[in-house]
Amino acid sequence: MLTDWPRMQGHLWYVGIMDNRPPPAQSRVDEKKGAAGSARTGRHESLARVHARALYRPVPPVEFDDDGYPFSDGKPVESTIHDDLRAYAKAALRVRYAARREVLVASDLGVFFERGDRTAVVVPDMFVAFTSGRGDRLSYKVWEEGEVPDFVLELLSASTWRRDVEAKPPLYEALGVREFWIFDPLGRLPDPMIGRRLDVSGSYRPVPAMRSGGWRSDVLGLDLILHAGGFRFRDPVTGEILPDVVEAAAQREEAAAQRAEAVAQRAEAVAQRDQEAAARQAAEARVAELEALLRQSQH
């Protein structure tokens, strides 16, 4: 499959990503066999070998679970915008699906797809699995979860963007990830948002941009729209943009501070009025007292 990446406009592009042409028939058949074997029965060609370039290589120091699968390493922070966008996507979708305990929304969680092969792991920036269920886990093991993720989002970073663009899409396609999305905050690609959706044959097809702007995710039932150098999710029914949880919290804190300041100002105004009223009453009382003394002196 890696031979199907022609160079175009200074970038490497997978044919199936750039247009509607499927990959060569023999390769596609081999990949479907690999997907069925590795994700379900383990009897066919290893997807980890076919798509070795897409695999994540842990950065020392590495921690392992009781079965020897790595779950934590020394991966450095990629960039602030990368972390901000990933945090937004995870938090916004967790709020969106808060009432559905069967939905798992995760970020930076290793997805192991071949039982027994501890190197067969890919780490999406964010993914959604609709029947896996919430709960703590050190990694996502397909043979234990019973499904591959339904929705995967990759955010390009300077160190890994070629792997995200070139190597990961064929692996996600072979695994059967229903939708795969790339957002490019670096400006390396012609379009900042690229979406791919499995068709009935199990091959990725481009998700077209909508006339109204943005792209529709059928898997999420949400639109993805560009926003302030990043992106946001939008409810296509209500038009509501799923808010950034951190921004929303900051806005609530700012609003609360403004309300507190307004209350303090009103209290100060009331105290000032009370003070002025007391002063007037004292002055009026003194005037009345003086008038009374004047009348007494006149008699």
CATH of the domain at 17: 3.90.1570.20
**Total domains in the fold of the chain:** 2
**Position 13 pLDDT exceeds 70:** no
Query: Is pLDDT at 27 greater than 90 in this prediction?
Result: no
Which residue, among 134, 138, 142, has the nearest Cα to 67 in the 3D structure?
Answer: 138
265: pLDDT strictly greater than 90: no
pLDDT given at position 255: 64
Question: Please, what is the average pLDDT of the chain?
Answer: 84
Question: 229, 286, 254, 252: which is closest to 85 by C-alpha?
Answer: 229
The domain in which residue 256 lies consists of 244-299
Q: What is the pLDDT of residue 117?
A: 97
Q: What pLDDT does 32 receive?
A: 41
Phi, psi of 215 (to 5 degrees): -135, 140
The pLDDT value given to residue 184: 96
Does one domain contain both 115 and 51? yes
Are 181 and 214 in a shared domain?
Answer: yes
The answer to whether 209 and 221 are in contact (CB under 8 A) is: no
Residue 202 phi, psi (nearest 5) = 85, 15
Same domain, 214 and 265: no
Mean pLDDT across the stretch 210-231?
96
CB–CB of 59/74 below 8 Å?
Answer: yes
Residues 52 and 135 in one domain: yes
Q: Looking at residue 237, what is its pLDDT?
A: 96
Task: Check whether residue 127 and residue 12 sit in a common domain.
Answer: yes
pLDDT band at 62; cut points 50, 70, 90: very high
Q: State which of 216, 243, 270 marks the end of a domain.
A: 243
Q: Would you state the pLDDT for residue 276?
A: 85
Instruction: Give the pLDDT confidence of 116-128 residue by residue, as tens digits.
Output: 999 999 999 999 9
Check pLDDT > 50 for residue 207: yes
Query: Please, which pLDDT band fits residue 299 given cuts at 50, 70 and 90?
Result: low
Contact 15, 28 (CB under 8 A): no
State yes or no: pLDDT of 220 exceeds 80.
yes
Q: Are residues 171 and 250 in the same domain?
A: no
Residue 14 confidence class, pLDDT cut points 50, 70, 90: very low
**Chain segment 40-52, per-residue pLDDT in tens:** 434 468 999 999 9
User: Do 249 and 126 reside in the same domain of the chain?
Assistant: no
Pair 144, 205 in one domain: yes
For residues 144-152, give the mean pLDDT.
Answer: 97
Q: Tell whether 131 and 179 lie within a shared domain.
A: yes
Residues 39 and 122 in one domain: yes
Domain boundary among 196, 218, 243: 243
Average pLDDT of the residues in 202-224? 97
Taking residues 91-103, report their average pLDDT: 96
Co-location of 188 and 290 in the same domain = no
* Distance separating alpha carbons of residues 140 and 163, to the nearest angstrom: 21
**Buried b vs exposed e over 187-224: b needs ≥16 C-beta within 10 Å?**
eebeebbbbbbbeeeebbbebeeeeeebbbbebbebbb
Q: Do 279 and 228 belong to one domain?
A: no
Final residue of a domain: which of 220, 243, 266? Answer: 243
